[in-house]
Amino acid sequence: MPNSSLPRTGRIARLRPGGQSVALCLGLGGVCLALTLSAVPLGAQSTPLDVLLSRMFAYVERFQREFGSMVAEERYDQAIRQGATFSRGETRRVLRSDFLLVNVPGQGWLPFRDVFEADGRQLRDRQDRLTTLFLSGTTSGALEQARRIMDEGARYNLGNGTRNINVPTLALMYLGPDTRSGVKFTAVKSDSTADGQIIEFSELRRPTLIGTTGGRDLPSNGRIWVDEMTGTITRTELHASDTGVEAEVSVWVELDTAVHTWVPKRMEDRFKRRGDTAEVRGVATYSRFRRFQVSTSEELAPPEPERKP
């Protein structure tokens, strides 16, 4: 089964239910990041939308810098559930990994995951391979090795094929300076919730940030919970789908007092082939945040073109 590599080829998910190959891919290096800005009036909301968005975008840049200097431990519980009511049993797996962001010039903040345990079985010595790899600088060799580590870990995901869009920072990639100009933002016309003011977003320009290896666009939409005064994001939801596959990723963000930074604490995801009663669901939690310092010095080559399945 072919693996995918998010930083190199841009492929971030592959689902092959029933022998049919469906892949979700993330365009990087400016290949699929050409989008268009559109925003609608805020209506009755007290804070004007443009002001709220400005605060949110500034927060995202701060968050990426702060979270990009840390590595977190991820516990990821996955299950394949059968039947509409999920009453016919399920297959489960528990993965433990290191997760971190790395700022790559020309491509933004890229997520990396290094699985070190599957269902209680140790896969390697428990050391910070990724952080050690990047401490001397983000060179082409380090990035290539990190891609191989990502591919290696993706093999342990449940379900047919491999996928890498199951990362807690996915929704934030639509808010970066190179992508948000192609996203439509709408403030929900309702009172703010305990998690903050809700902003809905949807992609407008094509090609989309996520797409299939066959060249089909996979438009995304979702919701973001934002603190009106600070722009702090406390929760995100992202939905991506086409006629063959649907995916959802929801993330809750909390202030970690140990590192004095807002960090993802819980992620829930769902992947399903349309018309199939089975789906893959996951719940990931994040802890043991540690700081380190990464320097970046080289740009990655553009992703190689994908072949149609």
| Among 8-17, 80-89, 251-260, 294-303, the range of highest mean pLDDT | 251-260
Pick the residue with more confidence: 224 or 32?
A: 224
Residue 136 pLDDT: 62
Q: Kindly tell me if the per-residue pLDDT of 209 is higher than 80.
A: yes
* pLDDT over 90, % of the chain: 39
pLDDT of residue 11: 39
Return mean pLDDT, the chain. Answer: 76
Domain spans, the chain: 32-95+167-291
Query: In which band, very low, low, confident or very high, does the pLDDT at 220 lie, cut at 50, 70 and 90?
Result: very high
- Distances in Å between the Cα of 162 and the Cα atoms of 53, 122, 158, 213, 274 are 34, 21, 8, 13, 17
Asked if pLDDT for residue 44 goes beyond 50, the answer is no
pLDDT confidence of 200, banded at 50, 70, 90? very high
- Structure tokens given for 163: 């996928």
Q: What is the pLDDT of residues 137-183, one digit of tens each?
A: 666 777 777 878 877 888 888 876 557 778 999 999 999 888 899 99
At 298, the amino acid letter reads E
pTM above 0.85, yes or no: no
- Strands 38-39 and 183-187 come out as parallel
| Residue 28 scores a pLDDT above 60 | no
